Structure 1
Amino acid sequence: MGPAALFVVLAAAAWQLMAVLVDSVLVPGVGDVAGELVGIVVDGSFAQHLGITVLRVALGFALAFVVAVAAGIAMGRNEFVRRFGEPAVLLGLTIPGLVWALLCVIWFGVGLANPVIAVALSSAPALALTIYQGVRSVDPDLLEMAHVYRFSRTTRLRRLWLPALAPSLFAGARLGLSLGWKVIVLVEVFGMSSGVGYQLNNAFAEQNVAAVLAWTLLFAVVMAVLEYGVLQGLERRAGRWRKAVIV
């Protein structure tokens, strides 16, 4: 049994023990949560509402990624841009996701712009900061070599910047996506009539703790699939050149 699977088993056992000791409807057992989870998947509501939430997160993160990459590289390469953009990044990092969710609900109503912009605003500062730090960590000798040999912009991008910034891009993507997932739930709770957050709000209104936990677990499974099935695979592909150099 792998460490991750062992953690899941121990967490489930600990929760079941707590449910037995507390003996309250507010702390449902593992069986009750599993029953709700199966029901959500079988009746199709999970796929329907998850698809809506994933689309909103994807659009918001794509917007944040484009803006943050441009801003992070500019801040790392130009001192004036760094000093100009630094307050905005720090301010964005300190504002809670709840504030972005509330403001976007007020400003944009229940349309698609609401969750997309909320996710972008919450994700972009952390992503820009990691990219800025990645740009600053690039070896100056490599930059000088590229200048001496007059590499084209395309060659510099493919052979220098992308390999050098890959760790920062993936670290920023993980952080940005985690923040985006948290904010999208808040937005859907406060101002949307669909999505995982909306379903969580319905379960809360009914005081159905098992359903709240079931939706939360399914949400966590999606994040795990995204991490282990997508990000880590892309990161290994992007880092193959490092292993080749070591060999």
Structure 2
Amino acid sequence: MATNAVESPDASSSPQESDEKAQLNAQLRQQQRAERRSRWFWRISGYVFFFGLWQFASSFLVADFIVPPPLAILEKMRDIIVSGEVWVHFGATLSTIAIGFTVAYVLGAALGMLIGRSRWWESFFGDWVMATLTTPGLVFALLTAMVFGLGQLGPIVAVIITSISYVTVNVVEGVKAMPEDLVSMARAYRRSRWQIVRHVFIPFLAPFFFTAVRYGFSIAWKIATLTEVIVGTAGIGFMMRREFQSFSMTGFLAWVLLFFAFALFLERVVLQRQMKRVLKWRPEVAK
């Protein structure tokens, strides 16, 4: 009987605790929905304001052949998509970025690990990394154009040179921020070098790797398009150059907006979702 008397308060409080948890979860979900609605409201408001200002400028401030109205640009974008040109030239630019950025990411991550763990390698490579980081991308675009001429090789090399420093710097910051206590504890438990890398280094550096992807990829987009404008024979930059030479502002802006829309899709839908999925175990990062 004494046992039953002691257990009965726990039994009676259990439903109350579950109700409180359910209420807290409901409030949290409601708060998250309100935050999402607020973000979408202001995001859409920004687009409405921008396109409204654009329409006003085209109608009352500048001649429409200089600043075409948004509707004319959308019609041109539709024609480009229907004709199939968008797939050909986006494919050419994406292949350049895929090859160049993959090489830059592998080399930059390895270089960042070396520099972050060794002062000797930091002294050896540090100034060169900083030099490529601060040099304008136009310099490398012109340099590779003069060295490699027309074709795809010049844009690929330009992407590698300009992206590698951004990847390296982000990885270096992650390696230097690594808590030595974690490594010492893993060694105290006699973990192998591979186990330390697999279970300590990689999980801790994962956010820095993703940051390197986001920044390096954005730079790769810009430099690939810029180099195509100068010496490309296909790609988004090549089409921008062609429209510019014919002074077709409508066609030029149509390719610019297609470039913007696709880059935004890769950033918001592909990269950010993959980051949230991989880093789900780190709520402060995955938010």
Q: TM-score, normalised by structure 2?
A: 0.81
Q: Identify unmatched segments of 5+ residues in structure 2.
A: 1-36
Aligned residue runs from structure 1 range 26-65, under 5 A: 26-65=66-105
Q: Which residue of 2 aligns with 1:242?
A: 282
- Does the 8 Å CA contact 1:64/1:123 hold for their aligned counterparts? yes
Deviations 1:105-156 (A, max 9, x none): 1112223321111101011111100110011011111111122122223322
2:248 to 208, 214, 220: 208
CA contact (8 A) 1:163 1:238 kept: no
Give the counterpart of 1:133 among 173, 195, 203.
Answer: 173
Question: Could you tell me which amino acid in structure 2 is paired with residue 175 of structure 1?
Answer: Y
Hey, what does 1:20 align to over in structure 2? 59
* Percent of pairs with identical residues: 32
Match of 1:7 in 2: 46
Question: Which of the two has higher C-alpha Rg?
Answer: 2
Which amino acid counterpart does residue 46 of structure 2 have in structure 1?
F
Q: How does 1:143-222 map to 2 (within 5 A)?
A: 143-222=183-262
1:77 partner amino acid = R
Once residues 53 and 216 of structure 1 are traced to their aligned partners in structure 2, the CA distance between those partners, rounded to angstroms, is 13
More contact order relative to length (CA 8 Å, sep ≥ 6): 1
Contact 2:133 2:166 in 1 (8 A): yes
Structure 1: segments with no counterpart, 5+ residues: none
Partner residue, 1:112? 152
> What do residues 91-115 of structure 1 show as CA deviations (whole Å, max 9, x unaligned)?
0012111111111111122233211
* CA distance in structure 1 between the aligned counterparts of 2:263 and 2:79, rounded to whole angstroms: 20
Match of 1:87 in 2: 127
Counterpart code for 2:43: A
Matched, 1:123 2:163: yes
Deviation at 1:242, TM superposition (A): 1.9
Distance 2:43 2:124 in 1: 43
**Contact residue 130 and residue 168 of structure 1 kept, 8 A:** yes
Query: Which residue does 2:118 correspond to in 1?
Result: 78
Determine the C-alpha separation between the residues in 2 that align with 1:70 and 1:21: 55
Deviations 1:195-233 (A, max 9, x none): 000000011111111111111111111111111221111
Aligned to 1:228: 268
Assess if the C-alpha contact under 8 Å between 1:61 and 1:123 holds in 2: yes
Root-mean-square deviation (Å): 1.5
Q: Which residue of 1 aligns with 2:107?
A: 67
> Contact 2:236 / 2:255 at 8 angstroms: preserved in 1?
yes
- CA distance in 1 between counterparts of 2:98 and 2:267 reads 14
